[in-house]
Homo-oligomer: A and B are copies of this chain.
Amino acid sequence: MNDTASSETDRLARQTESVFDLQAFFPYLVRVFYTDVTNALAEIYTRDHSLAPSEWRTMAILGQHGHLRAAEIVERSSMDKVSVSRAVKKMHERGLLEKQNNTKDGRSSLLCLSGEGRAVYDDIVPKVLAAEQRMLAGVLPEDIAAFHRVMRAIRDNLN
């Protein structure tokens, strides 16, 4: 196709009712940004400990609060229950977490990290905190505060 036809198409594109520039579209920018952030992080726990994102998130919750039911991990991690169920299963198989019968409710177990699980947790935590520092290096605190405000406001607007 030659330049004339290309310009013609661009003209037709421009004359459409709505001018739309993907590169300036807020949700697009958020996606690109998110992808970079999440990949930088996944790099750490995948390379060093072969954890899937859902497994790392489960570990992060259990490192902070032990003896949780799966449903409590769901709440605190914003993952759905299927992801948590699978993460728990895999981590249990790998010996990273322990299940105890919930005497109060036979449908669920109480979950916590095993010794090995905590060792992995203790290895990962400083690394991801360092990665967080690296990302945020040089960013003005007031800009970070604004960033948090925007995230909260948009989530509220979306209900």
Residues of A within 8 A of B (CB): 1, 5-6, 9-10, 12-13, 16-18, 20-23, 25-38, 40-41, 57, 60-61, 63-67, 76-78, 100, 102-103, 110, 112, 118, 121-122, 125-126, 128-129, 131-132, 134-140, 142-144, 146-151, 153-155, 157-158
Enumerate the 4 nearest inter-chain pairs by beta-carbon distance, A residue then B residue, closest first: A9-B66, A146-B146, A34-B34, A18-B125
Number of copies: 2
B138 x A64 contact (CB < 8 A): no
Q: Which residues of B contact A37 (CB under 8 A)?
A: 26-27, 30-31, 154, 158
B65 x A122 contact (CB < 8 A): no
With known contacts A22-B77, A146-B147, A150-B143, A36–B155 Cβ distance under 8 A: yes
